[in-house]
A and B are shown apart, each in its own frame.
Chain A
């Protein structure tokens, strides 16, 4: 459940919620890191639940030594009042037996907080792309019916590609079409939940493989920025995102000097 970090409970009425799905390459989580770090968003609360594996560390977005020793937990909520933006960062996997209760928790929190819309940043296994998906951009989107009504037009103008439904039995032309997001974690189930609960939700995802997924994270967050214009895009080049200091040492510690 959501627990406020300060004395008063923040209001998210009319806010846009952006959250990651714990998925292949952790792309959603990395993209959310970029957003929090670049917009310098303050933490307003924790998402304290038994559905996530516990983890603690010092401030991953520290800019100076003063704010370096601030404790961070497995799921936290950051907010930006001027942009009417709330971001939920999830830092650990969901406990396998509690995936369903986690989804319920998220759905009920979205409903009770009064978010205007929610965006789920996710990824899917690149090697599972079928023939029609292999062409062109690796980025896809999905809109729940209630968001389709409001934003469908705008997304179409952006020239985005919707996630293709694939047939249950490839090769048989009239077989049933279904949504298939391998490696997407809770993505499909959470999206389906939001559709049935009539929650305005968008899913933005990228096809990728495990490895150095930093370029994928940039691609996904730039894609999101094309829609929401959270950061002004310079006329030349792309948005300057601030990489958080916690991304250091992604490939391990320093090399022993005696090697050379």
Chain B
């Protein structure tokens, strides 16, 4: 593909099934079985830590945090204040998150995972593991299958690199981090930031959750934080504060120790000059 400036970029084609030989019409029984087994292995399930009666969980707010800054924010500003017992986790396996596929043991602290925490009527899902594209739809179906849709309100916190934000003005470093939001049609309440301007879009787990909420008519809002720092940092985490301050009592000033635990800006061994 040639761009505006004339350089040639190699792009992958969005038109899949390029090779017609790859068509699955000549599939035999064995192929089908292998396909089925792979599909089984990639299935997504919600596991509970305590015995539940199997019915769906009543809750007023579901907060889903995706990405290093959003999950870091939840850890430092919300969970650190205590009173948030883990109630379950989402087990899934894919090439990039092999560990979280264990169905019998809960993920260890610090391990990439998808853990559900609960306090009264509020459920928090902290998702630090990678969810593959083919698992996103199933993830939302399974998680929302466990939660009562009536009276539910969903808030999604998500991360994005500022380099991916498209704007006709030049984005200077002083304006980051900043929040943009997307909301479903039935969401009527106020939002904490301006809407995300087209042609900017959101993908991944956040998009899957919002799509589900839109078609199921569940009030939901997605706060996407654009940051120009590669690692999780305290300033970016702080930006989410405005988004959830109405729902949660935040730990306004987590100690430096707590913050350090989740930021780990530049690990010593990665520094060339020490």
Contact = CB atoms under 8 A, between A and B. Distances in A.
Interface of A: 3, 5, 21-24, 26, 46, 48-50, 53-60, 62, 68-71, 73-74, 93-100, 180, 182-186, 188-189, 209-212, 245-257
A185 B200 CA distance: 25
A56 B182 contact: yes
A53 B133 contact: yes
A255 B195 CA distance: 23
Contacts of A68: 195
B104 interface: no
- Residue in A3, A53, A62, A209 whose Cβ sees the most chain B Cβ within 10 Å: A53
* Interface range, B side: 35 or more
B175 interface: no
Nearest to A47: B215
B184 interface: yes
Contact of B170 (A22, A73, A247, A256): A256
B53 interface: no
Contacts of A245: 198
Contact of A247 (B169, B182, B199): B199
Contacts, number: 143
Contact of B199 (A48, A74, A98, A246): A246
A58 B182 contact: yes
Nearest to A94: B16
Given A57-B196, A71-B185, A253 B168 contact: yes
Contacts of A21: 15
A170 to B, nearest CB: 16
B14 A22 contact: yes
A189 B167 contact: no
A253 B4 CA distance: 12
